[in-house]
Amino acid sequence: MTSKRLSRAALLAAISLPLVGGASVHQRRQTVEQAKLFDQVFQLVSTRYIDTISTDTLYKTAAQGLIRELHDPFSSFYSHSEFTQFNNAMRSNYVGLGIQIAAGPTGIIVQHVFPNTPASENGIIDGDQITQVDTFSTYGWTAQEISDKIHGPSGTPITLTLQRSGIPQPIAVALKRSVVHIPTVPYAFVLEGTIGYIPLLQFGERASLELANAVANVTEQGATSLILDLRGDPGGLLQQAVDVSSLFLPEGTTVVTLHDRHGRTAYNVSSPPVQPDIPIVVLVDGHTASASEIVTGALQDHDRALVIGTPTFGKGVAQELFQLEDGYTLRLTTARWYTPNGRLIHRDRTLLDNGRVVELDSASDIAGRPVFSSDSGRTLYGGGGIVPDLIVTPDTMTSDERELLQALAPWQQVYIAQMQSYAFSLRGTLKPNFTFTPQMRAAFVQKLRDHGVIVDDSLLARGGSILDRTVGKRITTILFGDSTAERKYLGHDRQLQQAVTLLESSQDQTSLFAAAQHVTTDRH
């Protein structure tokens, strides 16, 4: 049998959905008729449509359409190169240059440069536009096409030609591809002498190992309590969620339960915890999703952590990967995740034909949510996502500051590029504890104006303090690193400050919960 026949047979099998036991002959006949209908349409399109379309393309298009009609944002049909990119995102190591790229207003730009990579060591910065890869112009290329061209064997050379805001001449950068390590824990440090602070960026294949090392590091420095920052963490591997939870929960404890068409599967802690008693606060927000919600839900259900922030994203479905013919991979939603005490993590969304994802139930805060209990009887809320024990919004901006940022939004790429440029112009002239002065603000605003950005003087006078913080923090990050920037500006982090205040007055997890009950929060 040819590969084309196998592909067609596989597609028809997907369309002919499995029948439950006892299905009638009428149902079977109906399924066969629908398969014939598809075959008739397929034959007419392949032989009579005005333009010639290859059979391979038709089969691929039909398979993609089938998945698209599920209206499931999390089910995908990947080509070989698309799956490679997806797989790299789940791995801590890959061969490349250490950059994230995305479509910009005039082409493909560098969205982020990871530290200690070929890109960072050769001066590539956020906001650079990639105009050429080796001798190939990237005009009209997609981000995927450039990504495919950038990846290659470790040690092989590659030259990127970049256009940088404020510099008229193209910049050619010669690099060598190498194994890039993307840290899941970029840094960890101790606050107020006894509070360990650890951000976890994603649940890649090294998440639990890096987190365990970070916990050991801060406790050796004297930390007697811990803040685990999962804000913005999009999740990742299910097993890593179980392993991360296992660092803090007793052996045998349930972390999450998966419900699929065949029943339920519980994932339990299989080893003793490394920190069974240390008081923990978990910080979350609307971008905390997937595996990070599993960890948050498990620690909250079992009274192992106080959760502070805003309700999480609500990505509580599991996908399986199915290898298909000709290098294609199907990522299909096959199960839903529930916290140990029965809360559904998922918030239903549908994928519209225009590519937008819309929530089917946009309930926020706690109004109308089902009520659950933690192991000790604390009140918890279901209804999708994880509702924090203390809802604390991050917004510390004034209305004038928000208005200024909104006014700058149309020039976002220029704004980012000029922050980068200004930071590098100050290299060697600043110390980590520098103050962003009025003179520095004026110099930065002038750079924006020199590049066509319109800034209203009266609005700048009223809301310009937001530039002092955002530009100052970006300069600190570029010149002195993420850890230094986080330490320096943590006073502006309302959620983190609430966590620090509660931990300073608590000796254990029980007293931490008690202290939280007396806090006036943003819950409504």
CATH number of the domain enclosing 124: 2.30.42.10
Is the pLDDT assigned to residue 243 strictly greater than 80? yes
Domain boundary (69, 101, 120) is at 69
Domain boundary among 181, 211, 242: 181
**Residue 416 pLDDT:** 78
Kindly state whether residues 380 and 405 are assigned to the same domain: no
Could you tell me if residue 88 is inside a domain?
Answer: no
What band does 522 get if pLDDT is binned at 50, 70 and 90? low
**Are 422 and 277 members of one domain?**
no
Average the pLDDT over 378-397 and give the result: 91
57 inside domain:
yes
- Cα(347)–Cα(312) distance, rounded to whole angstroms? 10
Beta-bridge mates of residue 309: 284, 391
Element (H, E) at 191: strand 189-191
The angle formed by the CA atoms of residues 507, 213 and 298, to the nearest 5 degrees, is 60
Whether 267 and 375 share a structural domain:
yes
Shared domain for 126 and 16, answered yes or no, is: no
Which positions ≥6 away from 485 have C-beta within 8 Å? 473, 474, 476, 477
Q: Is residue 146 part of a domain?
A: yes
pLDDT at 177: 92
Question: Please, are residues 12 and 33 in contact by the beta-carbon 8 Å criterion?
Answer: no
Question: Has residue 129 been placed in a domain?
Answer: yes
498: in domain: no
Q: Domain range for residue 61? A: 3-69
Q: How far does CA 55 lie from the centroid of its chain? A: 37
Residues 311 and 279 in one domain: yes
Question: Using 50, 70 and 90 to split pLDDT, how confident is the model at 330?
Answer: confident
What local confidence, expressed as pLDDT, does residue 374 receive? 98
pTM above 0.75, yes or no: yes
Q: Which residues are catalytic?
A: 290, 301, 315
Which tokens belong to 474?
A: 């970006």
Q: Which of 13-27, 68-82, 122-136 has the highest mean pLDDT?
A: 122-136
Beta strand pairing call for 357-359 and 280-284: unpaired
**Co-location of 452 and 422 in the same domain:** yes
Give the chain's domain count.
Answer: 4
116 and 247 fall within a common domain: no
Are 418 and 287 part of one and the same domain? no
Residues 211 and 279 in one domain: yes
Residues 55-96: pLDDT tens digits? Answer: 878 887 888 788 888 887 778 887 777 777 667 655 656 788
**Do 132 and 205 sit in the same domain of this protein?**
no
Of 138, 154, 181, the last residue of a domain is 181
